[in-house]
Structure 1
Amino acid sequence: MKLKENSNTDVSSKIENFEIKQSMLDFFVSLRTQLIDDIASSYINGATDRKALDGKIEGYKQFDWSVSLLAQHWYLNRQEATSERMPITVQSLIQKMRGAYYNTH
Structure 2
Amino acid sequence: MCGFALTAPGFTAAAGAHDVGSEDDPHPADAVHLAGLALPDLPSAPAVRVLTVRSGDTLWSIARSGLRADATDSAVAAAVTALYAANRKVIGDDPDLIFPGQQLTAPGGAR
**Which band: TM-score by shorter chain?**
under 0.3
Give TM-score, length-normalised by structure 1.
Answer: 0.28
Between structures 1 and 2, the one with greater strand share: 2
Between structures 1 and 2, the one with greater helix share: 1
Over alpha carbons, which structure has the higher Rg? 2
Higher normalized contact order (CA 8 Å, seq sep 6+, divided by chain length): 2
Give TM-score, length-normalised by structure 2.
Answer: 0.27
